[in-house]
Amino acid sequence: MTTTKGLEGVVATTSAISSINQDVLTYRGYSIQDLANESTFEEVVYLLWNGELPTADELEVFKKKLAENANVPDAIFDVMKSFPGTVHPMAVLRTAVSALGVFDPDADRMDAHSNMEKAVRLQAKIGTIIAGFARIRNGEEPIPPKKDLGLAANFLYMLKNKIPTDAEARMFDTALVLHADHELNASTFTARVCVATLSDIYSGVTSAIGALKGPLHGGANEQVMNMLEKIGSVDEVDYYINDALANKEKIMGFGHRVYKTGDPRAKIIKKMVGELTGHGAETKYYDMSLRIETLMKEKKGLLPNTDFYSATLYHTLGIGNDLFTPVFAISRTSGWVAHILEQYSDNRLIRPRAEYNGPGLRTYIPLSER
């Protein structure tokens, strides 16, 4: 056996969902640039789950089903009200998604139709859960979703009790498109390992949320924003970055295990943040980010990944720092579900081996002689 730390470069399965080839990201063969510019998140979810873009009629039916399933059981919000105020929203999301399985009478049905129905229920409710908890911890009641708003606009509405502008809704929708799937990342692999045991879809997504919670995966964008706030101003950027690098501290939001010439998603988000600031939004964090990008390229040869500029985008849209990773989960649920459905369709238990590096065979010593 050959050991590869972190499974870097190991091909663990085949998949027809997304591809990263020569730093080009595609969903079902469509480039992320085309989808970000032309598509909507609902279209992308349909594409990931069904393999083809929907017709106008198919999309209308799909959006209607999502809208009809967006409400969350009151019992789940009641449980949230008992949580301590310091709990991280990702821990809440992990618990709430697991609890959704308790309320779904079809949770353990494994036929293709039931799994697709559960997929719709899950995707529709993720944003409602996150926005609802954000209000509960502020002493406010959750706001029910509107059936005439898409997933992106509805989340911003439920979060702030204000209908977003078309520009805000479109930018957030594009961010959801960009983060919908990313080949066999840590959380997606976790989801596939879970359901390869023939566990249910709720268990698979709950497992994925647990993996996404870590700062080396989904939690990176939250840490980027915390860093920007700590730096405080453009004038302090050089000192902070130089000092951090001198102390061998990791600058979150830079570099990527797979991309070598730059993350294509980062380029799109950077452009969107520039457009937001060009329309009167706060420019401080964007200006700071531009300077940090320049320094990191000069000093370390590293380029920003999608987490770096998405932090400023979400902040500018009025989303709190510790909601960044749950927001990521709204988007990535679509990819997790696509991979779960694909795993079910051609399943084999995922059971790798480990190279043992402990003591050799030893003779047991009775307790009385130790």
88 is catalytic: no
Residue pair 181/108 in contact by the 8 Å Cβ criterion: no
339 is catalytic: no
- Of residues 200, 217, 307, 339, which has the active-site annotation? 307
- Of residues 88, 108, 238, 256, which has the active-site annotation? 256
Q: Which residues are catalytic?
A: 256, 307
